[in-house]
Amino acid sequence: MIVPTVGKTLLSITVIFFSIFLALILFAPSFPFFQYPVNSSLSDRPEIWSLRRIVEWRPCNWWLQGHPAALSAKSNGYIRVDCYGGLNQMRRDLCDGVGVARLLNATLVLPKFEVAAYWNESSEFGDIFDVDYFIQQMSGFIKVVKELPAEIASKEPFHVDCSKRKGLYDYVESVLPSLLEHHYISITPAMSQRRDRYPLHAKAAFCQACYNAMRLTSTLEKKASELLKAIPKPFLSLHLRFEPDMVAYSQCEYSNLSPASMQAIDAARGDRKAWTGEQARIWRNRGKCPLTPNETAIILQALSIPIDTNIYLAAGDGLMELEGLTSVYTNVFTKSTLHSVEDFANMHGNTKAALDYYVSISSGSYVATYFGNMDKMVAAMRAFKGLPNTLFLSRRGFAVLTSQGLKGKALLEALWRVHRDDFVMGVGSALPDCFCEFKL
C-alpha cells in the first residue's frame, strides 16, 4: 500500500531533521557571557515595556484627598533638618525630617544642606529648590518659616543626632523632651526609619514634602528643560553606577577590567579589601556587586531593548568601563555631551544630580543598575506621574545565573524571565510609605 510507505518516509525525514537541529544546538560554538554578541532584531522575546503589568503603585488616596488632621494652634518649637551627602540623600533626609517635625508638632525651619567638598558642592536648599513653592505646598501639612523669631534667631539650635539609629526609633520619647526644653533644635533623621507606625498626619506631611512640594528653582528648571529638549526622542534614562569609590565600597572583585580602572579602584579601597574565594562568590550572589557597563548592556539586550535606543546616561563623574555599554548601544548621551564645556565645568554636584533627576522623571522609560536614593526617588515620582516603564536591573539575578555557568542564549533567556516577573509585578516601582498597590 502507498499510504504506509509515505508515512514511513515522512517519519524518517522528521527524525533526520530533528537530529540535525539538535546537533546544531548542542555543538554550536559558545561564547563567554561577557563577550556574547546579540542582535536584538533576531530575538523572539518582546520588548520588556510591551508587557502588561499585573500590579502598579499609585499615590494613596488618604494622602491626596487632603490634610488628615488640622495643625495645632500652638507649636512645640522649631526644628531644622541638617542634611548631608549627595542631593538625593539630602532630599531623603529632608522628607524624613518633615515627617518627624509634624509628628512632634513642631514648626519647620528651612533645612541646612551641608557643604561637602567630597561632592564638589556648595549649594544650599534655596539654590536648588523653589522655597516659596515649598512653603505654599506644605501649607496645612506643616508650618514652614524662612526666618526665626528674634528671641531665638541669634542662637544655634541644640543638635540631636539621630542619624545612626535604626528601626523603631521613638522620636516622641527621645527628641520631644529636647525640643520642649530648648525650643529650637536641629536633627539628622535616623537611617532606615520605619514610618509604618506614624500617625497619618505625619505620614501625609512626609509624602507631600517628598513628591509634591520640591520644585526646582526657575533658573535650574530652565536649564533642565533645555537639557530634556536636547535629548533625541524617545529615549531611555539609564542610571548607571560603576565609579571607583562605589566599586571599592562594595568590596567586590572584578576581572577583565582595564589597568586604569583597576588602579582607580585600588586607590579608592583604602583599608576596605575585596572579598576573595568562597566569600566573594556568596557576596556577589547576594547582589552586592555593582553591574559593569558591559553587564548592563547584556541585560538590556536580554530585555529586547533595541540597540539603536536613545539612552540618556544619568550618572556621576568618573564612570569606568563605559565602552562596555557604548560598543553595543551607540546612541548614548550625557550631560557633558549636551552642554557646552564651560557650562558643564561650572556645574556643582547638586546641579548635575538635579538635572539627572529631572530628565529621569520625564523620560519614556527608566532603568537603574542600583537601588540608591536617587533610584527610589525617581521610581516613586514616576509612579506619582503615572509613568510605568521603570525597572531595576537584578544584580543578584545576573550573579546567580552566571555562577551557574549560564551563557549565551540560555543566559539571556534566564535574565529575561527574572526581569519579566519583576516588571509585571511592579517590583521596586515605589516604596509603600506613600503609594498603594493596585491590581490591574
HEC per residue, the chain: CHHHHHHHHHHHHHHHHHHHHHHHHHHCCCCCCCCCCCCHHHCCCCCHHHCCCCEEEEECHHHHCCCCCCCCCCCCCEEEEEECCCHHHHHHHHHHHHHHHHHCCCEEEEEEECCCCCCCCCCCHHHHECHHHHHHHCCCCCCEECCCCHHHHCCCCEEEECCCCCECCCHHHHCHHHHHHHCEEEEECCCCECCCCCCHHHHHHHHHHHHHCCCECHHHHHHHHHHHHHCCCCEEEEECCCCHHHHHHHCCCCCCCCHHHHHHHHHHHCCCCCCCHHHHHHHHHCCCCCCCHHHHHHHHHHCCCCCCCEEEECCCCCCCCCHHHHCCCCCEECHHHHCCHHHHHCCCHHHHHHHHHHHHCCCCEEEECCCCHHHHHHHHHHHHHCCCCEEECCHHHHHHHHHCCCCHHHHHHHHHHHHHHHHHCCCCCCCCCCEEEEEC
| pLDDT confidence bin for 48, thresholds 50/70/90 | very high
Cell of 25: 544546538
> Whole-angstrom Cα distance, residue 206 to residue 102?
8
Position 166 confidence tier, pLDDT thresholds 50, 70, 90 = low
Give the Cα separation of 343 and 38 in Å (integer).
Answer: 38
The span from the CA of 16 to the CA of 138, in Å, is: 74
Say which amino acid occupies 181.
E
* Average confidence (pLDDT) over 111-134: 80
DSSP lists the bridge partners of residue 129 as: 216
Any idea which of 91-95, 295-299, 389-393 has the lowest mean pLDDT? Answer: 91-95
Q: What is the pLDDT of residue 415?
A: 97
Neighbours of 1 (CB within 10 A): 6
Which of 349, 289, 380 minimizes the C-alpha distance to 118?
Answer: 349
Rounded Cα gap, residues 67 and 207, in angstroms: 11
Would you say residue 37 has pLDDT above 50? Answer: no
Comparing 21-25, 239-243, 348-352, 370-374, the range with the smallest average pLDDT is: 21-25
Residue 430 pLDDT level (bands cut at 50, 70, 90): confident
What is the mean predicted confidence (pLDDT) over 197-213? 91
Across 260-266, average pLDDT: 95
pLDDT of the residue at 118:
53
pLDDT of residue 347: 80
Per-residue pLDDT, averaged over 310-335, amounts to: 95
**249 C-beta neighbours (distance < 10 Å), count:** 14
Q: Residue 248 pLDDT > 50, yes or no?
A: yes
Where does residue 268 rank: exposed (0-12), middle (13-18), buried (19+ CB within 10 A)?
middle
More confident: 13 or 136: 136
**Average pLDDT of the chain, as a whole number:** 86
* Mean pLDDT value across residues 98-102: 94
Percent of the chain whose predicted confidence (pLDDT) is above 90: 66
Whether the ω angle into residue 234 lies within 30 degrees of 0, i.e. cis, is: yes
Phi and psi torsions of 217, nearest 5°: -60, 160
CB 432 within 8 A of CB 62: no
Q: Which of 146, 73, 66 is nearest to 105 (CA)?
A: 73
pLDDT at 413 over 80: yes
Least confident window among 26-40, 58-72, 419-433 = 26-40
- Return the C-alpha cell found at 27: 555543538
pLDDT of residue 342: 75
- In this predicted structure, what is the pLDDT of residue 337? 87
d(CA 58, CA 179): 35
Mean pLDDT of the 277-294 span: 96
- Determine the average pLDDT of the residues in 294-323: 96
pTM of the full predicted structure?
A: 0.86
The residue type of 192 is S
| Joined grid coordinates for residue 19 | 537530529
pLDDT at 14 over 50: no
Window from 86-90, 116-120, 229-233, 273-277 with minimum mean pLDDT: 116-120
Give the C-alpha distances (Å, rounded to integers) separating 290 from 243, 358, 389: 9, 24, 22
Q: Hey, CA dihedral for 261, 266, 267, 268, is it positive or negative?
A: positive
On the question of pLDDT at 204 being above 60, the answer is: yes
Lowest model confidence (mean pLDDT) among 21-35, 301-315, 362-376: 21-35
